[in-house]
Amino acid sequence: MPGGRLTEEDRERIAAWLADGLGYAEIARRLGRPTSTISREVARNGVPGDYLAGHAQEAAGRRARRGKPARPPKIVPDGPSAAAASAFVDEFAALLAATGLARMTARVFVSLLVVDAAGLTSADLVHRLQVSPASVSKSIGHLAAMELVVRRPDPGGRRERYAIDDDVWLRAWQADTGAHGDIATAARRGIDIFGPDSAAGGRLDRMGRFFGRLSEHMGGSALADPVVDDALTIVAALVHAARPMRPTALATALGWPPDRVAAALELIAARPEIADPLMLRTAGRTAYAITVRPDRLTATQQTALHP
């Protein structure tokens, strides 16, 4: 109640509001307390960015018991390897943070990674990591957006449990593959805007080919996709023919329906990395031929090959 001692719920609210950037005066107004109460509470238990509700509550309990020592909080599950598990969480989280993942988000992710399939609740994570509920909530939001965690109902309770699903790595791999393909497509659009002979066009071309190959490799074998397989057959047919050919002539020679040839030609045009180091070239309005990509050889190399 206002004027009495701060409760555990009050301290969790203070931690969440500090994480949201609220000042002492606004927090005091929301709790119906003097501003000095909030400033003393935070000063006694940390600084605004590091105020921990759980730590503050335990400190208040110790003061209430007149200095009776409290049992130190556990960061990891009970077990013979608790110390090793705690060190692993911190070490692995630091490695993930070095790749660009926020440090707190990395700690939450690794904590979920090393528990059993049941996962953890938000309260579990707050207790294990000794952080504020707001920090856990923000980290779970980031991980959920990247599809790295799943939410499950807590049996016998109203809370949610968070866990790492068994196919999380496949989803992350597929997400990266799609992103790399999008980058390659965007780079090719940039070439059309800035021109293939400009410095920007050259850089975008190299970038597009790199991410195109990366997407292709991460997406699996090209031959696993029937349409890609058809595209490579078209490339082989045009190389063997050594002359421009119309789609109808290709369909007749290959014994394919015209729409199958058309789909393969469209794919080569949309994803030129499939034919690398060759490329599709139009001859006239309706015929196609295969030529070597001009960017594979420098002007000096081309001259040396054709003296």
pLDDT at 201 over 90: no
Helices 35-45 and 24-31 cross at an angle (nearest 10°) of 120
| Contact criterion met (CB below 8 Å) for 267 and 274 | yes
Greater model confidence, 141 or 212: 141
pLDDT at 210 over 60: yes
**Which residue from 78, 86, 178 is spatially nearest to 129, judged by alpha carbons?**
86
Tell me what the pLDDT averaged over the chain comes to: 78
Helices 8-19 and 24-31 cross at an angle (nearest 10°) of 140
Greater model confidence, 72 or 225: 225
| Contact criterion met (CB below 8 Å) for 112 and 101 | no
Greater model confidence, 212 or 203: 203
How far apart CA 245 and CA 237 sit, in angstroms, is: 9
Q: What is the pLDDT of residue 255?
A: 93
- Stated pTM of the model: 0.41
Q: What is the pLDDT of residue 173?
A: 58
Looking at this protein, which amino acid is placed at residue 22?
L
| Contact criterion met (CB below 8 Å) for 63 and 69 | no
Residue 49 confidence class, pLDDT cut points 50, 70, 90: very low
Q: Where are the alpha helices (H) located in 65-167, listed in sequence order?
A: 82-98, 103-113, 122-129, 133-145
Greater model confidence, 120 or 70: 120
Average pLDDT over residues 294-305: 79
What is the C-alpha radius of gyration for the chain, rounded to an integer number of angstroms? Answer: 30
**Which residue from 178, 174, 200 is spatially nearest to 188, judged by alpha carbons?**
200
pLDDT at 162 over 80: yes
Element (H, E) at 305: helix 299-305
What angle is formed at CA 37 by the lines to CA 35 and CA 43, rounded to 5 degrees?
Answer: 100
**How many other CB atoms sit within 10 Å of the CB of residue 86?**
17
Greater model confidence, 226 or 6: 6
Q: Which residues contact 87 (CB under 8 A, 6 or more apart)?
A: none
Among 79-88, 170-179, 230-239, 285-294, which stretch is predicted with the lowest mean pLDDT?
170-179
User: At 114, is the secondary structure helix, strand, or coil?
Assistant: coil
Q: What is the pLDDT of residue 179?
A: 67
**How many other CB atoms sit within 10 Å of the CB of residue 97?**
15
How far apart CA 110 and CA 76 sit, in angstroms, is: 11
Average pLDDT over residues 176-201: 79
Tokens linked to 273: 């990395």
pLDDT at 224 over 60: no
Tokens linked to 254: 């290959």
Q: Which residues contact 111 (CB under 8 A, 6 or more apart)?
A: 76, 89, 120, 125, 128, 129
Q: How far is CA 297 from CA 22, 73, 191, 305, in A?
A: 60, 64, 19, 10
Average pLDDT over residues 129-143: 88
Element (H, E) at 39: helix 35-45
Q: What is the pLDDT of residue 277?
A: 87
How far apart CA 113 and CA 91 sit, in angstroms, is: 13
Element (H, E) at 152: strand 150-153
**How many other CB atoms sit within 10 Å of the CB of residue 89?**
22
